[in-house]
Amino acid sequence: MLDYGKKALLLGLGTLAFSREKVEKLVDELIKKGELTMDEKASLIDELVEEGEKQEELVLAKLKEVLKGIIDEFGIVRKDDLKAIEERLSRIEEHIVASEDKSAP
């Protein structure tokens, strides 16, 4: 019974990460239907929550990859790039001020 219920829940979860509470409710429903036993409950909940977290990480990694591609494709300036330019500009301004101070009578 565990394999059938586990497969059904994993299929139902897809790439969505459910909270532990929601997973517990789903498992309780399977127990009520006689598809799982109480002995199988704890390990299945842990496994499903862990799988949900893994799926969430995979989805977020893929989303990050896609967004990076979009940013690169459209030439959007990233925060780090802007900060580097600002730091460089500050150094140039400091150099100009220092040069002016040396040339001032």
Mean pLDDT score, 66-81 = 89
Mean pLDDT computed over every residue of the chain: 81
DSSP letter at 34 equals T
From CA 56, how far away is CA 16, in angstroms rounded?
A: 6
Residue ranges with strand state E in 7-77: none
pLDDT, one tens digit per residue, over 30-59 is 889 888 788 888 888 888 888 878 877 887
Distance of CA 78 to the CA centre of its chain: 19
Residue with the bigger pLDDT between 6 and 66: it is 66
Contact in structure between 26 and 12 (CB atoms under 8 Å)? yes
Q: For residue 14, give the DSSP letter.
A: T
Would the pTM count as exceeding 0.85? no
Q: Among residues 56, 45, 54, which one has the least CA distance to residue 21?
A: 45
Q: How far apart are the first and last CA of the chain?
A: 92
In this prediction, residues 58-81 reach a mean pLDDT of 87
For tokens 């409950």, what's the residue?
41
Which residue is associated with the tokens 């460089």? 88
